[in-house]
Structure 1
């Protein structure tokens, strides 16, 4: 089940991200209790604990952004990818609830503006597809579902510098599907793809696209996570692992967590027995924030009441703990 997402931009202000270089400070007095901390003005921090056990913690807040000029219309299941080098975000396609979209937009975080591009040729209107940034200004778009109910496995490369799409054909490639996960691993120059659905079957196969070799390869493993679609996947660089979480399986919503170790070529399950953790869900935001060494999760469809979540969670991969 899909819900329409508002065409509103939000950013999460994770305070460690705001610092660059060295941070210096000094004080002529030592503050040790909550009473001490409450005695001066504070911004961006909160007090937890009491007496000498009190701590000042950086707050994490959502801030709404209002871009100048025009913006993409409301949609769900669009393909979205961030280009760190160019400080830009690419959005392609999606579904409005009545229409399948073909439009392409670029958001520039430096000047807070959207720019619509209309290259030709270009991928057909679709949703449930994925796009990943594989080099500065270069994106790989794959798969998805169109208005005729056809699932795709076509591969398109978008060059932001030239504003051109190029379709490429491969003898070996993942089968047609939508609502899969796809993540670029820069250290290996590979794009990993996992799971998805073609409407009649749900998958748990793993593939990677080798950027240098310009080819797809199927990854043969001894055991895999259960089949799923609408799940999240992110690359946890320090551990050389691609982490997969939740999604929709054959028997309903999932809340399990797995990692694929690229070096060993094996999957590992991380039992989610913690008392504090997200509920089972699908169609959520899921990415690794290296600045704070946490996996970030937002929102999703939970099937409850209300069915759409606006929760924000952080996951520590090293301790297998949610907060």
Structure 2
């Protein structure tokens, strides 16, 4: 049997010192040497609130919750919506109980969701946090973030704790704190080991929190570090190191199965897949098929990735796209 590979797909394997056949990398050959691309996008039900950028979100029981952000008039928002991927429908939930804001962060621990930090209507930085309980459809205030008030931080969940760090408080930041819902307390953990930054993205694989990209002093970053809560340490991983300019900020990230995905931000539609087994990145998944955008929200449910909202220039977006990494892309796309 003959296997064909696109030229661009070879670099992560060569960098790893060997040619590897992994999920999604095996492609067929035709007489015309066409290269099949695994990873298909399809349009789903539009976000039902007003179009917006820099929203926050989290997932509880396979429902994605998205809210806050700014509309086309740059007004800060408090409305929140839940997306049921199985039904492909949006349902409005209780408005966020805190000050209207954008550039906040969200994460979920167990059956509760958490949203905090960001910028208010006066562009003042915030550090308050609120907890959402879908069982009662209600928000309640919890302990303020223990670090400084900030915007464009990054957040992820490992086990029974949420982690929030980096961002901008008038200076670029690299500190990190863990939130324990059982005690309603924040605890300082090891600071991010790379340069300070805002606008990074994160995903979690095998109990490690990966932080990718962001901007430091006007320069987009391409380094990748993984946080190990058991050791309270950051481990440097393979950076985006191909010939393209792939450093970025204000993109989206999510994890599906054993792989992480990073895309969008700063005019780049390429879908980058991270394999922790080989510590390598591949662009074999092609490109996002919606509008190039920044400040979008990304999440994953039941083996599919999703991208919604965001901005193109001064325009705001409300479309929703679903990514299936195991489906072959239509040759007409």
Q: TM-score, normalised by structure 1?
A: 0.74
Deviation at 1:5, TM superposition (A): 4.6
Match in the other structure for 2:223: 205
Aligned partners of 1:7, 1:202: CA distance in 2, in Å?
A: 30
Match in the other structure for 2:213: 195
Deviation at 1:139, TM superposition (A): 1.4
Match of 2:158 among 126, 134, 147: 134
1:242-280: CA deviation from partner (whole Å, max 9, x where unpaired): 0011111xxxx2211110111111110036468xx2010
Deviation at 1:125, TM superposition (A): 0.6
For residues 272 and 169 of structure 1, do their structure 2 counterparts lie closer, same or farther at Cα, with a shift above 3 Å needed?
Answer: closer
Match in the other structure for 1:167: 188
Match of 2:177 among 140, 147, 156: 156
Runs of 4+ in 1 over 3 A off after TM superposition: 1-5, 270-274, 320-323
Aligned partners of 2:102, 2:241: CA distance in 1, in Å?
A: 32
Deviation at 1:168, TM superposition (A): 2.8
Tell me the SS of whatever aligns to 2:249. coil
Q: 1:145 touches 1:152 (CA, 8 Å); kept in 2? A: yes
Q: 1:79 touches 1:131 (CA, 8 Å); kept in 2? A: yes
Corresponding position: 1:82 with 2:108: yes
Deviation at 1:241, TM superposition (A): 1.0
Deviation at 1:223, TM superposition (A): 2.6
Tell me the SS of whatever aligns to 2:102. coil
Corresponding position: 1:296 with 2:296: no
**Root mean square deviation of aligned Cα:** 2.3
Deviation at 1:319, TM superposition (A): 2.4
Stretches of structure 1 lacking an aligned partner (at least 5 in a row) = 16-58
Match of 2:284 among 270, 273, 291: 270
Corresponding position: 1:282 with 2:308: no
Tell me the SS of whatever aligns to 1:204. coil
For residues 169 and 207 of structure 1, do their structure 2 counterparts lie closer, same or farther at Cα, with a shift above 3 Å needed?
Answer: closer
Match in the other structure for 2:322: 314
Match in the other structure for 1:64: 92
Corresponding position: 1:100 with 2:125: yes
Q: 1:143 touches 1:152 (CA, 8 Å); kept in 2? A: yes
Match of 1:235 among 255, 278, 282: 255
Aligned partners of 1:294, 1:108: CA distance in 2, in Å?
A: 24
Aligned partners of 2:175, 2:276: CA distance in 1, in Å?
A: 25
Q: 2:299 touches 2:306 (CA, 8 Å); kept in 1? A: yes
Q: 2:117 touches 2:129 (CA, 8 Å); kept in 1? A: yes
Tell me the SS of whatever aligns to 1:6. coil
For residues 97 and 151 of structure 1, do their structure 2 counterparts lie closer, same or farther at Cα, with a shift above 3 Å needed?
Answer: farther
Aligned partners of 1:227, 1:142: CA distance in 2, in Å?
A: 20
Max Rg structure: 1
Match in the other structure for 1:52: none
Match of 2:198 among 162, 169, 178: 178
Aligned partners of 2:228, 2:287: CA distance in 1, in Å?
A: 36
Aligned partners of 1:215, 1:96: CA distance in 2, in Å?
A: 33
1:197-253: CA deviation from partner (whole Å, max 9, x where unpaired): 02321101110011222101111358357110001111111xx210011111xxxx2
Q: TM-score, normalised by structure 2?
A: 0.71
Match in the other structure for 2:147: 123
For residues 88 and 308 of structure 1, do their structure 2 counterparts lie closer, same or farther at Cα, with a shift above 3 Å needed?
Answer: same
Q: 1:300 touches 1:310 (CA, 8 Å); kept in 2? A: yes
